[in-house]
C-alpha cells in the first residue's frame, strides 16, 4: 500500500475515512477553499508523483458543486504527475438522462463521462449506476460495483421468513432477480408510469406477495413517491409487511412528508452519499449500512491488479 494514496473531496469525507480504515492507511490531506467570488481553490497536500491515486467524491446534492470539485481534483492529480488517477464516484449524478427519449434533450450521463475523462481520470469506480449502459459511455476502464452483497447481507440477518423481492419498476427486474437469489425468495414487479420529474403512478403488480415479507429494491430513493406508492399496493395485495432497500438515499424534495405516512417497516440504504438534514422522526425510519469496506476491498484489488468481479460471486 506504500504506492497508494486516497484523497477525498468535501462531498463525503466520512466514507473516505471508512475506506482508509479498511485498508489500514490514512487519507491524504486535501486543501479545498474558495476565492471571494466562489471559485474553488484546490491543493493536494502530499507528493503523489508516480503514485496510484484514488479520489473519493460522490456527485450528490449539491450536484453541480460536488461535480465541479471532483473535476478540479482530477485535474490537480493529473498535473501532479500521479501514475494513475481513479475517480471513485459511489453515486454518479446526472445519470437519469442516459438516452434521448424525446427530441431536444441532453444525454447528461454521457456528458459527465466525457468531463471526467477530460479532467484526468484514468479509471472510474462507481456503485449501482442508474442504468448499466452508462458503463459503456467511458472509453477508460470502469468498474461498476453492485451493493447487493451489502444490502442482501443486512436483510438476511433479519430472518424475514418467506420473502418476495419487489422491483420498483420494469427496468429494475435484473436487480430484483439478483436480490431474490441472495435472499432465497421470489420476485415481483410494480409497474409505474412517470407523470413528471417528481410524480409517478403505480399501474400494476406482477407477481405473488400474499403472506410474504416484501422487500422493495431500487437503485436510489429521491422524493420517495415510487416506493411509498408501491408499499401501499403491496399491502393491499396481502403482503405481511414491507421493507424498502436502495443503494443511494438521496432523500430530497417531499421525501420527509411521504415517508412519515409510509407503512413500510424501515428504509435501508447504504452510505454512498451522506444522509441529508432530516427531522429526527424521519431519521428514525432510516437504517444505513456501510459500503466502506466493500469499496475498500475493490480499491485494494484494483491497486493490486486483481479481479474485482469476483467480489460478487
> Could you report the per-residue pLDDT of 36-50, keeping only the tens digit for each?
999 999 999 999 999
- Copy the grid coordinates of residue 48: 503523489
pLDDT category at 168 given cuts 50, 70, 90 is confident
Examine the pLDDT at 194 and tell me if it is beyond 90.
no
Write down the pLDDT at residue 73.
98
Write down the pLDDT at residue 311.
87
- Copy the grid coordinates of residue 187: 420476485
Examine the pLDDT at 2 and tell me if it is beyond 90.
no
| Distance of alpha carbon 68 from alpha carbon 86, whole angstroms | 16
SS3 46: coil
The radius of gyration of the chain's CA atoms, rounded to the nearest angstrom, is 20
Same fold, 4-146+292-312 and 148-289: yes
Mean confidence (pLDDT) of the chain? 94
> How does pLDDT run across 281-309, given as a tens digit for each residue?
999 999 999 999 999 999 999 999 999 99
pLDDT category at 199 given cuts 50, 70, 90 is low
Higher pLDDT, 263 or 1: 263
> How does pLDDT run across 221-235, given as a tens digit for each residue?
999 988 998 999 999
Q: Which residues pair with 52 in a beta bridge?
A: 4, 84
Write down the pLDDT at residue 142.
97
Write down the pLDDT at residue 1.
78
Strands, E assignment, 97-240? 123-127, 142-145, 163-167, 186-196, 199-206, 213-221
| Distance of alpha carbon 313 from alpha carbon 304, whole angstroms | 19
Instruction: Give the architecture-level CATH label for domain 148-289.
Output: 3-Layer(aba) Sandwich (3.40)
- Phi, psi at 173, each rounded to 5°: -60, -45
Cα-based distances in Å from 10 to 7, 60, 69, 224 = 10, 11, 8, 26
- Phi, psi at 247, each rounded to 5°: -75, -50
Which residue do the cell numbers 453492485 mark? Answer: 146
| Distance of alpha carbon 108 from alpha carbon 130, whole angstroms | 12
pLDDT category at 193 given cuts 50, 70, 90 is low
Domain regions of the chain by residue span = 4-146+292-312, 148-289
Do 3 and 51 meet the contact criterion of CB atoms below 8 Å apart? yes
* pTM of the model as a whole: 0.94
Examine the pLDDT at 189 and tell me if it is beyond 70.
yes
Write down the pLDDT at residue 202.
57
Q: What percent of the chain has pLDDT over 90?
A: 88
Catalytic status, residue 174: no
| Distance of alpha carbon 7 from alpha carbon 27, whole angstroms | 6
Which residue do the cell numbers 425468495 mark? Answer: 185
Write down the pLDDT at residue 65.
97
| Distance of alpha carbon 96 from alpha carbon 133, whole angstroms | 12
Active-site residue (options: 18, 110, 192, 212): 192
4-146+292-312: CATH topology is Rossmann fold (3.40.50)
pLDDT category at 123 given cuts 50, 70, 90 is very high
> How does pLDDT run across 39-90, given as a tens digit for each residue?
999 999 999 999 999 999 999 999 999 999 999 999 999 999 999 999 999 9
Do 235 and 242 meet the contact criterion of CB atoms below 8 Å apart? yes
Amino acid at each position: 500500500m506504500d504506492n497508494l494514496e486516497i484523497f477525498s473531496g468535501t462531498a463525503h469525507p466520512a466514507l473516505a475515512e471508512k475506506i482508509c480504515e479498511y485498508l489500514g492507511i490514512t487519507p491524504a490531506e486535501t486543501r479545498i477553499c474558495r476565492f471571494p467570488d466562489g471559485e474553488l481553490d484546490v491543493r493536494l497536500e502530499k507528493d503523489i508523483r508516480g503514485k496510484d491515486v484514488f479520489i473519493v467524491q460522490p456527485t450528490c446534492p449539491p450536484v453541480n458543486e460536488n461535480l465541479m470539485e471532483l473535476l478540479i481534483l482530477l485535474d490537480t492529480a493529473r498535473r501532479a504527475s500521479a501514475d494513475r488517477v481513479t475517480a471513485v464516484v459511489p453515486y454518479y449524478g446526472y445519470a437519469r438522462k442516459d438516452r434521448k427519449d424525446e427530441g431536444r434533450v441532453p444525454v447528461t450521463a454521457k456528458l459527465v463521462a466525457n468531463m471526467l475523462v477530460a479532467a484526468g481520470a484514468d479509471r472510474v469506480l462507481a456503485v449501482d449506476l442508474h442504468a448499466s449502459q452508462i458503463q459503456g459511455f467511458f472509453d477508460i476502464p470502469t468498474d461498476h460495483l453492485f451493493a447487493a452483497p451489502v444490502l442482501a447481507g443486512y436483510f438476511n440477518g433479519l430472518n424475514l421468513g418467506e420473502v418476495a423481492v419487489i422491483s420498483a419498476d420494469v427496468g429494475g427486474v435484473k436487480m430484483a432477480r439478483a436480490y431474490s437469489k441472495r435472499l432465497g425468495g421470489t420476485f415481483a414487479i410494480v409497474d409505474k408510469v412517470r407523470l413528471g420529474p417528481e410524480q409517478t403512478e403505480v399501474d400494476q403488480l406482477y407477481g405473488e406477495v400474499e403472506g410474504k415479507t416484501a422487500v422493495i429494491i431500487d437503485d436510489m430513493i429521491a422524493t420517495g413517491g415510487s416506493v411509498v406508492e408501491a408499499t401501499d399496493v403491496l399491502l393491499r395485495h396481502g403482503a405481511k409487511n414491507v421493507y424498502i432497500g436502495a443503494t443511494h438515499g438521496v432523500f430530497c424534495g417531499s421525501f420527509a412528508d411521504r415517508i412519515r405516512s409510509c407503512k413500510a417497516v424501515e428504509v435501508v440504504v447504504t452510505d454512498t452519499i451522506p444522509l441529508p438534514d432530516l427531522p429526527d422522526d424521519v431519521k428514525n425510519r432510516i437504517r444505513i449500512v456501510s459500503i466502506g469496506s466493500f469499496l475498500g476491498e475493490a480499491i485494494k484489488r484494483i491497486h493490486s491488479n486483481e479481479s474485482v468481479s469476483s467480489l460478487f460471486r
